[in-house]
Structure 1
Amino acid sequence: MKKILALLFVATTLSCSDKDDDAFTYPKETEVQNFMWQGLNQWYFWQADAPNLGDNRFATNEEYVAYLEKYTDPEEFFYQTCYKHSNIVGTDNAIDRFSFLNNDYRTLVNSLNGISKSNGMEFGLVRYEGSSNIFGYVRYIIPNSDAANKDISRGEIFNRVNGNTLTESNYVGLLFGNNDSYTLGMADISGTVITDNNKEVTLIKQEGMVENPILVAKTVEVNGTKIAYLMYNGFTNGFNEQLNTAFGQFKSEGATELVVDLRYNPGGSVNSSRLLASMIYSTNTSELYIRQRWNDKIQSSFKKGQLEDYFASKTDKGTAINTLSLNKVYVLASGSSASASELLMNGLAPYMNVFHIGERTRGKNEFSVTMVDDIDNDYIYSPARENKINPSNKWAMQPLMGRNENAAGFSDYTKGLAPNIALKEDISNLGVLGDPNEALFARAIQDITGTTAKRDFTVQMPVEEVSNSKLFTPIKDNMYLDKVEALPLP
């Protein structure tokens, strides 16, 4: 018996798992749990390490049903099933930090395409030293959003929401709850001192808001050197053409150096990272960008060509890629830079000097695939098969399924990628993104040209984040596999 795997536009044949989907029967009320167990048993990267996912975990149908019925909350069932030890519950027993789920696959799929419910303010949260109170700082404002029409901008500070002082115990409910609006109480910052002021800003979340991840794309000239600067805040496949257009702009402006700003980029599409890598380095389609590693049950089912991604000469729509053909790229990255951001840096490393300024990255080196209750497609989501998804089960999983290694075989950066030059953002002076005087960009310019308009890089109030707004979106810091080639069947 064989099954069809469809990774979006990818088609390949795989042998069925040791446990056939119809090996056990189950009550209708456990169909969500059954979907989760069957999908994780076949695809989860650490399937062999999770006792509750073992192929021989259940000796009888009754044992299987009893397990499905044990956890009536699908979220609890999902995480319990992925634990290292079947009888120990807790974060320390979790195999990975990044697998997640959503109760409506449509919300998740929209988020992967940059569509969400948002007020357009992206922010970080920082703890006061020696206190459980926290405050927020505005990272940037998404154009054409509600926040873009309000009196609020990058670098401003807030420490109250709806009149409540922000603390570690209440910030999630106040900022990320079901409320569609909230009122921020703003604050002033002087050096390392933050004090309340009387300014208030009310923000309203909008359905269907689309974020263009290309926030800034410009070329500056310093001492005769033309330096392209790209502020890229998410690897979103729907904006690959615009990304290529930006590189065409860089080329026409005569840029010979490139600074890619990923400091707030939590990741996203593997394919977008491959295309961006090609725009930076080369369109030589015979050079390997990355290679996939799946779990032991799946790996042998793929042909070599199905596991490998090469640099691209064209976008998915057939547009010739505008490449700068560089041998060195400057990347601004922080602890918020994850998954596809790290993949870009690691994938380019065997071919060019990737000069990293900022902080150690998050350490997310596994990819995932969206899973839904479509048994005939091995539970893999495909937009062409939405009418095949079980209509009574809208849950989606985004479990880690494998790792991408670079052409040198390296993929072990679970502790993050360390910077060549360590430099934190200064909350007391964030600067303007894309301005040559902004600290991280200025530091790159200094290395490129030997001079800069901003010579003092002393940080008075370094960012020590508790969390940030990106981590509360449905895709969080996900790296999702979305190959577009129609690969041959084995």
Structure 2
Amino acid sequence: MNLNNEKEKLMKLRNILMLTSLLCLALIGCTKDTEDIETNSQNEITRPDNSVDNPELEVENFVYNGLNEIYLYKSDIPELANGYFQNTNDKSEFLAKADSPEDLFDNLTSSIDRFSFITDDYESLEDSFDGISGATGIKFGIGRIAGTNNIFGIIRYILPGTSAEDAGLVRGNIFTEINGQKLTSNNFSSLIDQSSFTINVGYVENSEIFLTENEVTLTDDNYTENPVFIAKTFDIGGRKIGYLMYNSFIANFDEELNKAFGDFKANGVTDLVLDLRYNGGGSVESAKDLSSMITGQFKGKIFIKEQWNTKYQNFYEAQNPEALNNRFDDKIRGGASINSLNLSEVYILTSNSSASASELVINGLTPYISVIQIGDRTVGKFQASVTLYDSEDYSKSGRSTNHTYAIQPLVFKSINSAGKSDYIDGLQPDITYIENLNDFGILGEQDEPLLEIAINDILGRSQTDKSQINRLEIELLGESGMNNLEYQKMYIDALPDL
């Protein structure tokens, strides 16, 4: 499925029952500006056109209409209420008060909403959903040593084929400056937002930061990141243990993900460690398919249910309740058969960077199999969004050529088959372990601390005593990609079939 398909399905929703044009002419400005979804006695949906009365407010009208139409938290915003404006002139006066479309969007989203966003460049947004972006090649966290004002970056992993790999940077390298400016709590966000930059290079040893004389310039090259970062099988004590580090739920790489599970299956994997510690989320469909790859014995059973705003929810429940269910399946979106392991247990590694679709996998699987979560608590993101363009039905087809704005509002919250949702404080691990810079390890190696904990638990072995290793306490302030639109987002590729 793709982003264009979702808009076609939204057109189906719009066309269930339209007010006639004569009725619109008879009323004062009977357009999408002043009306919301209406339901008749048969619970069918009426949605007027996304028309524009004032061309100078074209973007503002689009922003308002989109949120008024389908925003999950519409009921929290008085101005989005049906009939709030008496006529289109009142509406136009309200929109004209906004300093910018971004300002209007912020004012019309709920205080509990951390994830809806607006962009003035939908092409870049589409590229990001496809895994295409500029990349300096380093994925890093920004931390502060507890009790100090010492801010630094810690490289978590290196993307292959980038300037960072060419420069010889490795996991565990640290930096304290960007372009000669020392990182502080006030400037790090803007400094890491640059496309290309120069960093100093250091390392951590025995809780101390040592800086070398090396400086590395990292270039922002166009890059498509394969989220299937590491996939390998360990043969330990007669057990075949699969390890998968998966760093983003990107639709374009579902085939690579399925191939990794095909290799696991061919290798006779009986246990799986799924590493989502740096995975901020992505496609709901990819999350569902990954969960079907881990299992396979639950085809047709509910993975997660969706809860929309009141009128959409009422409509779906009355007209097409199955559209609210996401079920385990046996094919990826491209049609290929899913390679399933039929496991009854999975180990999932997490951190406080694991979000949205990563949490969806944990929550969706928990009612069916044993999910042992190792690491730190997750972010706490259980809502999904969809891209709306400025067209009559919010599809990309027929969009306005006067601007490149799009909005990505939250449209539903996910609920697992046991009714669990609203984990706003994140999902708590069964075995807590927070990465220690004094013992960072090499990703994918058996003695990397988080993976080692999982392997020991699988084999019933005692955990390694690490009491002699000093812990460098770090407060995570940010990370690479934190300024990107798709950061920690979970999205749907299409609205449910009607």
Query: TM-score, normalising length from structure 2?
Result: 0.88
Residue 25 to residue 448, structure 1, CA distance change in 2 (3 Å)? closer
Does the 8 Å contact 1:158/1:185 carry over to 2?
yes
Does the 8 Å contact 1:8/1:482 carry over to 2?
no
Please name the residue that 2:294 is paired with. 280
Does the 8 Å contact 1:192/1:461 carry over to 2?
yes
Alpha-carbon offset, residue 274 of structure 1: 0.7
- Give me the whole-angstrom Cα distance separating, in 2, the residues matched to 1:350 and 1:483: 26
Does the 8 Å contact 1:271/1:483 carry over to 2?
no
Alignment equivalent of 1:461, drawn from 472, 475, 482: 472
Does the 8 Å contact 1:161/1:184 carry over to 2?
yes
- Post-superposition Cα deviations, 1:9-44, rounded to whole Å, max 9, x if no partner, equal 746425677436559853212111110000001111
Please name the residue that 1:111 is paired with. 128
Q: 1:307 aligned to 2:317?
A: no
Q: How does 1:75-94 map to 2 (within 5 A)?
A: 75-83=102-110, 94=111
Please name the residue that 2:155 is paired with. 138
Alpha-carbon offset, residue 252 of structure 1: 1.0
Alpha-carbon offset, residue 148 of structure 1: 2.1
Alpha-carbon offset, residue 6 of structure 1: 5.5
CA RMSD between the two structures: 2.1
Range that drifts further, 304-313 or 438-447: 304-313
Does the 8 Å contact 2:296/2:340 carry over to 1?
yes
Alignment equivalent of 1:298, drawn from 282, 303, 312: 312
Q: 1:244 aligned to 2:243?
A: no
What letter matches 1:474 in structure 2? Answer: L
Alpha-carbon offset, residue 290 of structure 1: 1.1
Range that drifts further, 450-459 or 189-198: 450-459
Residue 390 to residue 430, structure 1, CA distance change in 2 (3 Å)? same
Q: 1:325 aligned to 2:335?
A: no
What letter matches 2:382 in structure 1? Answer: N
Alpha-carbon offset, residue 204 of structure 1: 0.5
- Find the residue that maps to 1:258 and give its secondary structure: strand
Range that drifts further, 37-46 or 72-81: 72-81
What letter matches 1:55 in structure 2? Answer: N
- Give me the whole-angstrom Cα distance separating, in 1, the residues matched to 2:95 and 2:451: 52
Alpha-carbon offset, residue 450 of structure 1: 2.3
- Give me the whole-angstrom Cα distance separating, in 2, the residues matched to 1:24 and 1:370: 18
Please name the residue that 2:24 is paired with. none
Does the 8 Å contact 1:442/1:452 carry over to 2?
no
Please name the residue that 1:91 is paired with. none
Does the 8 Å contact 2:135/2:220 carry over to 1?
yes
Alignment equivalent of 1:44, drawn from 71, 93, 112: 71
Q: 1:352 aligned to 2:362?
A: no
- Post-superposition Cα deviations, 1:165-208, rounded to whole Å, max 9, x if no partner, equal 1001111222103xx3211012232222223321111100013x
Residue 393 to residue 23, structure 1, CA distance change in 2 (3 Å)? closer
Does the 8 Å contact 1:345/1:354 carry over to 2?
yes
Alpha-carbon offset, residue 57 of structure 1: 2.1
Alpha-carbon offset, residue 116 of structure 1: 0.9
Does the 8 Å contact 1:100/1:399 carry over to 2?
yes
- Give me the whole-angstrom Cα distance separating, in 1, the residues matched to 2:270 and 2:5: 40
- Post-superposition Cα deviations, 1:321-379, rounded to whole Å, max 9, x if no partner, equal 1111001000001110000000000010110011000011000000000111122x2x2
Residue 201 to residue 24, structure 1, CA distance change in 2 (3 Å)? closer
Residue 172 to residue 328, structure 1, CA distance change in 2 (3 Å)? same
- Give me the whole-angstrom Cα distance separating, in 1, the residues matched to 2:480 and 2:72: 28
Please name the residue that 2:404 is paired with. 394
Q: How does 1:470-485 map to 2 (within 5 A)?
A: 470-483=481-494
Does the 8 Å contact 1:292/1:403 carry over to 2?
yes
What letter matches 1:340 in structure 2? Answer: A
Alpha-carbon offset, residue 125 of structure 1: 0.3
Alpha-carbon offset, residue 410 of structure 1: 1.5
What letter matches 1:366 in structure 2? Answer: Q
Q: How does 1:413-428 map to 2 (within 5 A)?
A: 413-428=423-438
Q: 1:254 aligned to 2:268?
A: yes
Query: TM-score, normalising length from structure 1?
Result: 0.90
- Give me the whole-angstrom Cα distance separating, in 1, the residues matched to 2:283 and 2:306: 14
Does the 8 Å contact 1:24/1:64 carry over to 2?
no
Please name the residue that 1:13 is paired with. 13
- Give me the whole-angstrom Cα distance separating, in 2, the residues matched to 1:477 and 1:104: 19
- Give me the whole-angstrom Cα distance separating, in 1, the residues matched to 2:440 and 2:250: 26
- Give me the whole-angstrom Cα distance separating, in 2, the residues matched to 1:28 and 1:189: 57
Q: 1:124 aligned to 2:138?
A: no
Query: What are the ranges of 5 or more consecutive residues in structure 1 without an aligned counterpart?
Result: 84-93
Please name the residue that 1:59 is paired with. 86
- Post-superposition Cα deviations, 1:307-330, rounded to whole Å, max 9, x if no partner, equal 111111112222211111001000
- Give me the whole-angstrom Cα distance separating, in 2, the residues matched to 1:24 and 1:320: 43
Does the 8 Å contact 1:437/1:453 carry over to 2?
no
Alpha-carbon offset, residue 62 of structure 1: 2.2
- Give me the whole-angstrom Cα distance separating, in 2, the residues matched to 1:444 and 1:321: 25
- Post-superposition Cα deviations, 1:219-277, rounded to whole Å, max 9, x if no partner, equal 01222211100000000010111111100101111110000000000000000001100
Residue 132 to residue 363, structure 1, CA distance change in 2 (3 Å)? same
Residue 77 to residue 277, structure 1, CA distance change in 2 (3 Å)? same
Over the matched positions of the two proteins, sequence identity in percent amounts to 38
Residue 246 to residue 23, structure 1, CA distance change in 2 (3 Å)? closer
Query: What are the ranges of 5 or more consecutive residues in structure 2 without an aligned counterpart?
Result: 19-31, 37-46
Residue 204 to residue 31, structure 1, CA distance change in 2 (3 Å)? same
Alpha-carbon offset, residue 455 of structure 1: 4.4
- Find the residue that maps to 1:300 and give its secondary structure: helix
